[in-house]
Structure 1
């Protein structure tokens, strides 16, 4: 077999997805299996098995990149900050390299998302791309000249656990975050955070999709919840723009499907950006839910 394809894996908490790309980025194969719950050894074996089955089917050996819901510690190479807790403290890359008998590259799943969109997605013409995940959690990744910025602590782009600056009218005390802090961006801007904010103001528990639907039907309380969400997101992203000044911010995760965000965010950000105009473009992902696994493959770009 010749080393002529890129294999990417998205190692999630509920599913493991694999994709194989040719040199031009065309998809040759895609498979998805359930993640062995709470089973580190089972997870490692499942990933290795997917790689071997893919190479057997395609008759070619490939480079392997993996996106994970966490990061590899710069001290010792063990996994940290993973919401798939069975990975925490484990030498994942070392174990997979031993099984697959080759170098394996790991990156945070938000970094993989950003890389995919920077290489051949919505940010392909931009020098600097900030990839935003708005879903069950809030994550981010930075790509500069089509290279992932990892950072000294392997946390570059992790804006979700910075405190959200208080807007006029925001309630106090701020909501708790699972990380142990209060008032994190994630506690406000994740899907559960949006739902919790609506419940705090109305006493009614709705998920994000229902809030968006009812707002579109004229429900004033749901419309007010979405307005608060947009204003908070605008202020949070203004902080990113003031530091990173990306040409493109591309959104992923379930909340990225709210089309009004792309129309309204320039106006929501503008009062908080240290500039007379906001030229940053806010874009949906070209590759949708496929971006993360494609980005893992592009770690070998």
Structure 2
């Protein structure tokens, strides 16, 4: 039987899944174990091998290929990982090391690309744009990122990793000159404007109070806190600017908003209205701006679809 194997390799947990068909309803097994990243790179590889052995033992299936969603990206020129917050992965040829440890061919992509691929193939997009040619997946949470999926001439979707492995890296475009400093070395990146921590930092800077984003949103909706309203207005305005750049240079059929900030309903109404001011299309946006459908399954399902 044809099976689809995916591993979502996170900083705290590793999740594996086997699908019997490319469908969210075809899960044979899902299993999680701790990453134990503090024990080093070789231990992470051994944990992956342990999880794969568990999946084999419990199902009796053998993989022909395994897809991996990872933090950071694999640079296809330098043959090393880069930009991972699990820092021990950086500078290592993870695909080669995984293939040696598992005795199986692997495919690897950034976790945001896996999110985009999952929602494009199994999630929100097929319901509204089944004949899509391009989908952009946005992550707006603790960090900000993105992934790009195209449908090839053969009808098969593929992730656009790019020449340097940075395809879809939307989170680190400069949005606000002289804004908050980012670990990437720039200031005012998308991530430092409307990620959850950046919005909370902005609120604290203007109000003197420390509140989480859920509280800030509730205070804005209640109309009781002008600082909260200023923070949410900042989110909507800068989201509109940032999302317009995706539409202008890619014109995707759909954009799916993932991550905790992506749960804010105002993004799909007022946020889209703000974007209309900046889109080079006479104020018209026909792009589907969608909530994700797969929840925390997106990472492992997208890895399997690789």
| Fold shared per TM-score above 0.5 | yes
Partner residue, 2:260: 254
Question: What displacement does 1:79 show?
Answer: 0.6
Partner residue, 1:185: 190
Q: Please show how residues 257-268 of structure 1 align to structure 2 within 5 Å.
A: 257-268=263-274
Secondary structure at 1:269 match in 2: helix
Partner residue, 1:215: 220
Establish whether residue 69 from structure 1 lines up as the match of residue 75 from structure 2.
no
Question: What displacement does 1:9 show?
Answer: 1.0
Question: What displacement does 1:165 show?
Answer: 4.9
Partner residue, 1:156: 167
Secondary structure at 2:146 match in 1: strand
Q: Is the contact between residue 165 and residue 236 of structure 1 (CA under 8 Å) also seen in structure 2? A: no
Alignment partner of 2:14 out of 13, 16, 19: 16
Establish whether residue 203 from structure 1 lines up as the match of residue 208 from structure 2.
yes
Provide the C-alpha distance between the structure 1 equivalents of 2:122 and 2:139, rounded to a whole number of angstroms: 18
The one-character-per-residue Cα deviations of 1:97-117 (angstroms, maximum 9, x if unpaired) are 011111111100000000001
Secondary structure at 2:98 match in 1: helix
Alignment partner of 1:89 out of 69, 88, 91: 91
Establish whether residue 34 from structure 1 lines up as the match of residue 34 from structure 2.
yes
Question: What displacement does 1:29 show?
Answer: 1.1
Partner residue, 2:287: 280
What 5-or-longer segments of structure 1 have no aligned partner? 167-172
Provide the C-alpha distance between the structure 2 equivalents of 1:108 and 1:37, rounded to a whole number of angstroms: 18
Q: Is the contact between residue 165 and residue 235 of structure 1 (CA under 8 Å) also seen in structure 2? A: no
Secondary structure at 2:119 match in 1: helix
Moved over 6 A (4+): none
RMSD: 1.3
Secondary structure at 1:75 match in 2: coil
Question: What displacement does 1:24 show?
Answer: 3.7
Partner residue, 2:45: 44
Q: Is the contact between residue 4 and residue 22 of structure 2 (CA under 8 Å) also seen in structure 1? A: no
Question: What displacement does 1:217 show?
Answer: 2.8
Q: Is the contact between residue 5 and residue 22 of structure 1 (CA under 8 Å) also seen in structure 2? A: yes
Provide the C-alpha distance between the structure 2 equivalents of 1:259 and 1:272, rounded to a whole number of angstroms: 20
Secondary structure at 1:60 match in 2: coil
Q: Indicate the larger mover: 38-47 or 102-111.
A: 38-47
Provide the C-alpha distance between the structure 2 equivalents of 1:17 and 1:217, rounded to a whole number of angstroms: 39
Provide the C-alpha distance between the structure 2 equivalents of 1:52 and 1:193, rounded to a whole number of angstroms: 40
Question: What displacement does 1:56 show?
Answer: 1.3
The one-character-per-residue Cα deviations of 1:106-134 (angstroms, maximum 9, x if unpaired) are 10000000000111211222221100000
Q: Is the contact between residue 69 and residue 111 of structure 2 (CA under 8 Å) also seen in structure 1? A: yes
Provide the C-alpha distance between the structure 2 equivalents of 1:211 and 1:20, rounded to a whole number of angstroms: 40
